[in-house]
Structure 1
């Protein structure tokens, strides 16, 4: 097996060392130093090179280095080429940690207290138990289901919205466009973990925000293009939303002077909610490579019609 890695170089060197120890039969090369591109079987990338098949005419599998796959130009890829998103424990654990932190912070009014600290204001605000905070997760894939589990255990009133019905203990399931309004109406803290598709681009907009309870808050950890920035700012300024935790934006990084940087109701982080961990990612990669060699279905293969 001949693999090319095109992403963050230092992480790639860690993958290279781990694979040399665990699978010395695999040839692992770091972009752009490629020998015999016609012999390359697999490409691992976040932003692949243009004209992938011209670079690697015998490519058999394209792996995303992360959970997202909307960055790929599917029109330039053969229909028969499997595209595989990263599903690995380290990435999932990171998202669980971040979302739990964000929900607890919003539930306990931490953005407001942070602003009070900066203003040297000592003022207590009423709190409420987790059981009276309704959390809603948009997108009930691997990450969506994982982040809900600790929130259920903490006592939050949890629900999920997805394209198909889900059966997760302690979580109310809402399905499809017809049930979106009811889902939003009971979401005091809304978490976006949707894949980015033509149907979900721009979904975090004024129409959606106005269906949330007044004073609701947002955790945006999906994809940057889900969120319409001006609509969020208007919802925050009007009081329809009280706060937002934002980890993904479009563009990234945000330009100097963008209102998100200084807005008192926004916590902003630089796309760090969940990052692929080399040790567990290499194990997930090896498992999929062995599945591929045996002619078995790989974990995380993208359904191109759905877009994820």
Structure 2
């Protein structure tokens, strides 16, 4: 966190940022900027008045049974994060849809080997979760020519005209049936934990490509391995995992149908986190509503 402190100090030299191996005096702490804080720590801070997640999600907070939910919490909403995610998802979709791995193999073998080019318009991409990141991915892929559908818990009035929306549990099967590539960008909640399972995979077109850039706990790993083995899924691109770093010897490491990246799909610059924290503090003082404030009941 020292780099974040330097970014904060550079932008706001009049503000005090204390960093030490220990918390110091809990009675002096009124803001917590955190990622997977140890259970019980936040509840032990008597002056705490604001909790700031350093990511777009808050599942790293919800594992704490003593989490002080009466306090306001904020997540990061960052256009640069959305751009980075759209670039990663576009790479994942395009490289698989165009079969780029075969050209890499051909180059290594010294072969000039061409294959038929499938136009983007023939490939259907589904975005599971239409928050800020999902909407930007939908816009980007649609602009590249892909047929994009999106699913969300509630209707999205700002859905791009070229993107067909599906809403709620009743429309989920119809949505899944139109996903040659399925991109998971859901928040992690009690309802979405383990959602990427055998029942969901069975509703996708045979040979579909799963791209998980949500959270590792969205995925039932054993069900994914079974779906790849049976041919129900053809490929999985995974950037998040239930246990990180992915343990040595895990079945995903050497699997020919699994592509792994180490949770690098996108990142928020430290100065953006610092700036948003200051805005959240100021808004809290003036009772100003913020789209970044967490709805504890909703889980994000």
Decide whether aligned partners of structure 1 residues 295 and 162 sit closer, same or farther in structure 2, where only a CA change above 3 A counts.
same
Is 1:48 matched up with 2:24? no
Once the 2 structures are TM-superposed, how far is the Cα of residue 227 of structure 1 from its aligned partner?
A: 0.8
Q: How many residues align?
A: 297
> Which 5+ residue runs of structure 2 have no aligned equivalent?
none
Greater shift, 106-115 or 37-46, is seen at 106-115
Once the 2 structures are TM-superposed, how far is the Cα of residue 120 of structure 1 from its aligned partner?
A: 7.2
Matching of residues 87-166 of structure 1 within 5 Å: 87-114=77-104, 123-166=113-156
**Aligned-pair RMSD on alpha carbons?**
2.0
Equivalent position SS for 1:76: coil
Equivalent position SS for 1:101: helix
Is 1:38 matched up with 2:45? no
Greater shift, 80-89 or 152-161, is seen at 80-89
Once the 2 structures are TM-superposed, how far is the Cα of residue 220 of structure 1 from its aligned partner?
A: 0.5
Deviations 1:236-264 (A, max 9, x none): 12221111110011111222221211111
Whole-Å separation in 2 of the counterparts to 1:121 and 1:261 = 27
Decide whether aligned partners of structure 1 residues 41 and 298 sit closer, same or farther in structure 2, where only a CA change above 3 A counts.
farther
> Is 1:136–1:184's contact at 8 Å kept on the other side of the alignment?
yes
Please point out which of 236, 242, 254 is paired with 2:228. 236
Once the 2 structures are TM-superposed, how far is the Cα of residue 14 of structure 1 from its aligned partner?
A: 2.5
Greater shift, 237-246 or 33-42, is seen at 33-42
Question: Which position in structure 2 is the counterpart of 1:26?
Answer: 15
Please point out which of 35, 40, 57 is paired with 1:68. 57
Matching of residues 1-308 of structure 1 within 5 Å: 12-72=1-61, 73=63, 75-114=65-104, 123-167=113-157, 168-169=159-160, 170-308=162-300
Decide whether aligned partners of structure 1 residues 237 and 25 sit closer, same or farther in structure 2, where only a CA change above 3 A counts.
same
Decide whether aligned partners of structure 1 residues 132 and 177 sit closer, same or farther in structure 2, where only a CA change above 3 A counts.
same
Equivalent position SS for 1:261: coil
TM-score where L is the length of structure 1: 0.90
> Is 1:90–1:281's contact at 8 Å kept on the other side of the alignment?
no
> Is 1:161–1:173's contact at 8 Å kept on the other side of the alignment?
yes
TM-score where L is the length of structure 2: 0.92
Whole-Å separation in 2 of the counterparts to 1:218 and 1:84 = 30
> Is 2:177–2:204's contact at 8 Å kept on the other side of the alignment?
yes
Greater shift, 102-111 or 209-218, is seen at 102-111
Whole-Å separation in 1 of the counterparts to 2:218 and 2:110 = 35
> Is 1:43–1:59's contact at 8 Å kept on the other side of the alignment?
yes
